[in-house]
């Protein structure tokens, strides 16, 4: 019988998604830290928060993330951000 499930998104058992965010930002010529800033700005009602609460679906998140947060200069698709959460190795 399963008594507990541990979700790790903070770099304890797997690599931190922040490393993936930074790598993506460098590859795309976006200042490092933009994704983290988007995710923490208006943290109750931004696209990230709405997606976490299931207020919007994946397609809605993809569009809302690209349209908001980083402004017209850095239109980051939400689908790219979700893909960056797929970490495969442990902490370094």
Residues 12-29 pLDDT 10s: 667 778 889 999 999 999
Instruction: Give me the residue label for tokens 């943290």.
Output: 43
- Between residues 86 and 83, the one the model is more confident about: 83
Give me the percent of the chain exceeding a pLDDT of 70.
80
For 33-49, b/e burial (b = at least 16 CB within 10 A) is: ebbeebbeeeeeebbbe
The C-alpha atoms of residue 33 and residue 38 are separated, in whole angstroms, by 9
User: How much is the pTM?
Assistant: 0.75
């Amino acid at each position: 019988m399963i008594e507990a499930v541990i979700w790790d998104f903070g770099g304890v058992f797997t690599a931190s998604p922040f490393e993936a965010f930074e790598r993506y930002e460098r590859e795309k010529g976006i200042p490092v830290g933009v994704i983290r800033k988007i995710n923490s700005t208006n943290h109750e009602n931004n696209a990230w928060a709405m997606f976490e609460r299931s207020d919007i679906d994946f397609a809605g998140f993809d569009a809302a993330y690209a349209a908001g947060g980083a402004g017209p200069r850095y239109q980051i698709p939400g689908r790219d951000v979700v893909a960056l959460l797929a970490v495969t190795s442990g902490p370094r």
